[in-house]
Every structure is written in C-alpha cells, then in structure tokens.
A and B are shown apart, each in its own frame.
Chain A
Amino acid sequence: MKNNLKVQRAIKDITQADLAKEIGVSRQTINAMEKGKYIPSTVLSLKIAKYFEKALEDIFTLEDND
C-alpha cells in the first residue's frame, strides 16, 4: 500500500511533528509511513483521512503486489 501523505501535508502546510501530535502517534511513525516502511492500521488510516478531510482512497492506494 502506498500513500501521498507528504503531498497532503504540503497542501495543508503542516509538519510531520504537528501531524503526529494531531493524530496521536510519534513523529517516527509519520516518517516511516511517508517512506513506505510502515503500513498503518485501519484505525490510524481513518484518523489520517479524517484529519485531512479526505476519503481514505484519496490518500492510500493499493499496489499491484498487495
């Protein structure tokens, strides 16, 4: 699964640290997700989508090997 978290953050002009605070995870977690090293849980994905006021599919998309 890939995501465009970095783009969404840029649009909203918010840092990794601020986003981390907003959704209650560590900065390392946001960083790992942006790098594609970590696939968030459903709960965390929904929290992120809710924060950016987007549909889940606008931020997260399946890859061919998923």
Chain B
Amino acid sequence: MKTNYLFPNWIKTPAFIFLLLFIGLGLFSNDIAHSDILKIQIGERLEKGEMVPQYKDFTDTIIGFSVILFSLLVAFSKEKEEDEYIEKIRLHSLVWAIYINFTALLILFWVYYDFDFLSVMMFNLFTPLWIFIILFHIQKIKLQKSLNHEE
C-alpha cells in the first residue's frame, strides 16, 4: 500500500518526545516570557521625536508553532506495518476526532463567552490533532489485543 501523504515511520518517536517537551514548556510559558529570554527587537518606532526600539516576545509563537508541528508529525507519520486496514482505522479515527472536537465546541459556545471563550479557542487549535492521535492509538491497541487473544 503506497501512501505518499504520510511522513516516514522513524519520525514518530522523536516527534512525540519533542511534542511532550514543548507541551511541558507551554505550561511554563508565562515564566519563560517573564524571563525575557525570547524577547527580540523587531524594529524601531518614532516616539516624541526619539527612535524607541520595539520588542516582541516570541515565547508563545515558538511554543505554539512547535506544538502544532510535532502534533502533525506524530499524527501523520506511517506505522511500522502500513496496509489498507490501518489506513481505514486512520480515516475512521480522523472522522470521529472531528466529530468529538466540534461537538464539544458547539456546546462550549453556549458555556463560555467573550474572553473566556478565547481560552477555549486556544485549546481548540490543538485538540483536533490530539483527539485524533488518542483515538487512533486506542484503536491500534485494541487491534493488538484482539490478536494476542487469538494466540
């Protein structure tokens, strides 16, 4: 079975380690931002006749970018044994992940408002991929279990 839209299998484990690392960093993003490690000058602006340097903190940018990138790599890298059945399970998990994610969002629309809803939106940037990864792996474990049961 040739699928050309998936990343190679060797990517999965390192990507997963980096994903956990960046999720961990994300939990401390406020501390990192306060420490000014990732504060970079992005230009200057004329204020009261003086050129004042403008800074931007890139903590959230780098963490958000990395979490999505590594989630994508974990979600869509090939399995060790890639065949049409695993492809079916992948598609199945993807459909359910989208259903679950957006059903939750439909409910959350009526539970959180205004600024609170912003945090919901923030999580929602990542949850479709994460729910998919979890569902897909549950299916794979179930499959392996049914096989072990056979022996």
Most buried by B among A26, A31, A40: A26
Q: Quick check: is A27 within 8 A (CB to CB) of the other chain?
A: yes
A33 closest partner in B (C-beta): B85
Q: Quick check: is A51 within 8 A (CB to CB) of the other chain?
A: no
When chains A and B are docked, how far (Å) is the Cα of A16 from the Cα of B146? 13
Q: Quick check: is B13 within 8 A (CB to CB) of the other chain?
A: no
Q: Quick check: is A29 within 8 A (CB to CB) of the other chain?
A: yes
> Which residues of A does B touch, CB under 8 Å?
16, 24-29, 31-32, 35, 38, 40-41, 44
Q: Quick check: is B27 within 8 A (CB to CB) of the other chain?
A: no
Cβ B85 vs Cβ A25 within 8 A: yes
A44 to B: closest C-beta gap in Å: 6
B23 to A: closest C-beta gap in Å: 30
Cβ B83 vs Cβ A25 within 8 A: yes
B100 to A: closest C-beta gap in Å: 22
Report which of A27, A35, A40 forms a contact with B84, defined as CB distance below 8 A.
Answer: A40
Report which of A16, A24, A38 forms a contact with B85, defined as CB distance below 8 A.
Answer: A38
Interface string of B78-101 (1 = CB under 8 A from A): 000101111010000000000000
When chains A and B are docked, how far (Å) is the Cα of A60 from the Cα of B83? 20
Cβ A31 vs Cβ B84 within 8 A: no
Residues of B within 8 A of A35 (CB): 146
A46 to B: closest C-beta gap in Å: 13
A41 to B: closest C-beta gap in Å: 5
A23 closest partner in B (C-beta): B83
When chains A and B are docked, how far (Å) is the Cα of A33 from the Cα of B3? 21
A37 closest partner in B (C-beta): B146
When chains A and B are docked, how far (Å) is the Cα of A57 from the Cα of B150? 27
29 contacts between A and B (CB under 8 A): A16-B150, A24-B1, A24-B83, A25-B1, A25-B81, A25-B83, A25-B84, A25-B85, A26-B81, A26-B83, A27-B147, A28-B81, A28-B85, A28-B86, A28-B143, A28-B144, A28-B146, A29-B84, A29-B86, A31-B146, A31-B147, A31-B150, A32-B85, A32-B143, A32-B146, A35-B146, A38-B85, A38-B88, A40-B84
